[in-house]
Amino acid sequence: MVRKADRPRHIIDAALTLAADDRWSSTGMRDIADTAGVSLAELHDLFTSKTAIVRAWSDAIDTEILTATPALDPEDSPRDRLFDVLMRRFDAMKDNRDGVAAIAEASLRDPLAGLCLSSGMLQSMRWMLEAANIKATGPKGRMLARGLAAVWLATLRVWLNDDSEDMARTMAALDRNLSRAERLVKLLPTGGRRRRKNPEEEPAAVPA
């Protein structure tokens, strides 16, 4: 008998197991309830949809990363800190890789579910930025979260097929994707809208 306090995690584990063993799109809520050993009513009280279960799993990963975030090294660059945070996130997900792959594939066929999951991913990326001591508030924070989400998704595709012990391919892909994002951020304007100059204010051309 699973303790009441442990049921949410038990249900999440059951759902990810089913996702790994079968097509996620064909898994019903009754399948999840039966596998978890709970009634449909109990399942509904905790999670109203499969998307809610996946969101809860992602939130649990966020909490694990934030809880285990080490003291920041002042010598590390923002990119170094993000690399560390995201690699720890991949490491925390490794036991559920097959389930994640099935859910990711299914979300491509279900735009509405994919949209719901993407909003949760952006929230997770904001927390990952904060874990790396990068402010994720305001317009700039939203832009950084979207950029980091793009980095995450591009690296996720590599991680799903990375069978190396040390995740060397994933680390190389993440480093490459963060480098590209870093270059893009440097190209973006950092201030407000530039005022168009009056032609009369232009300096006179210097004669050759």
Q: What token pair was written down for 32?
A: 């999840």
Q: 54-187: which CATH number, 1.10.357, 2.60.120, 1.10.3470, 1.10.3210?
A: 1.10.357
- Tell me, what's the pLDDT at 4? 78
158-163 contact pairs (CB < 8 A, 24+): 159/90, 159/97, 160/97, 160/100, 160/101, 160/104
- Tell me, what's the pLDDT at 74? 78
Cα–Cα–Cα angle for 87, 118, 137, rounded to 5 degrees:
75
DSSP track, 83-124: HHHHHHHHHHHGGGHHHHHHHHHHHHH-HHHHHHHHHHHHHH
Residue 127 has pLDDT above 60, yes or no: yes
Which pTM was predicted? 0.82
Q: In whole angstroms, how large is the CA radius of gyration of the chain? A: 22
User: Where is average pLDDT lowest: 4-18, 47-61, 140-154, 193-207?
Assistant: 193-207
